[in-house]
Amino acid sequence: MAPSLLVFTVLPCKSREAQQKAIEFLSTSAQAMLKNEPNNKKYGICTSSTDPDDLCVYMIEESVQPWWYSLSGRSRKAAVEHPLSGEILLENYDIVEGCSLSPRPEVGQHKNCSIAFGTYTINEGTMAQKLQHWNDALSSKAGAADEGPLVFLVGQNKADPNKMSTVEAFKSREDAVRFQTTIGAQAEMQYRWLKQVGGYLYKE
């Protein structure tokens, strides 16, 4: 099987009504993906958990060939069928297996889990060193079942190899910050905090 891709998509909706309709449309798509697309591992539909005025819909998708990755920009707009306030942001990542953790099945049981999308730009030529640091940190700290991550993916940006991002899900924001601080990520990463409103982050 081909390596999985991580796709992070931002849909800037024009109104709260448009945002809700986009969520409903994408949630219907997620149900179909869950049943019919075995290669699609994650199809998370999120909104901001920190900014009540943020009208964007954020999508986190992991798949051999993600749905949004395979569509043109025009097709994506047609698929959503609701007014957008700007261009869709689409970022594609190669998942770094050695620095990512298998999702815990209980992620589906925590409907109010705290989700963080982190970004970090690494100095040119130091990617291997940084990834080794993360691998060592995760190997030693990720086993705490009570407060460890429910989901933890590390991706290397396909357009900018010096940019890495993480998708992280925890039972609470407090668990997230504690874990990020422990592995040395809190001071390095810029985080966007999200809440899941549809889709799935784990599939059996």
Instruction: Name all domains of the chain by residue range, CATH numbers in brackets.
Output: 5-94 (3.30.70.100), 96-195 (3.30.70.100)
Mean pLDDT of 45-70: 87
The amino acid at 99: C
Burial class (CB in 10 A: 0-12, 13-18, 19+), 123: exposed
Q: Which of 53-62, 95-104, 110-119, 146-155 has the highest mean pLDDT?
A: 53-62
Phi/psi at 107 (5° precision): -60, -30
The fraction of the chain above a pLDDT of 90, given in percent, is 29
Q: Which of 53-62, 120-129, 185-194, 195-204 has the highest mean pLDDT?
A: 53-62
pTM: 0.87
The model's pLDDT over 108-146, given as tens digits with 9 standing for 90+, comes to 666 678 999 999 887 777 777 777 777 777 766 555 555
Say if residue 53's pLDDT is above 70: yes
Cα–Cα distances (Å) from 87 to 156, 157, 203, in that order, read 23, 19, 30
Say if residue 11's pLDDT is above 80: yes
Cα–Cα distances (Å) from 133 to 54, 99, 126, 158, in that order, read 34, 9, 11, 21
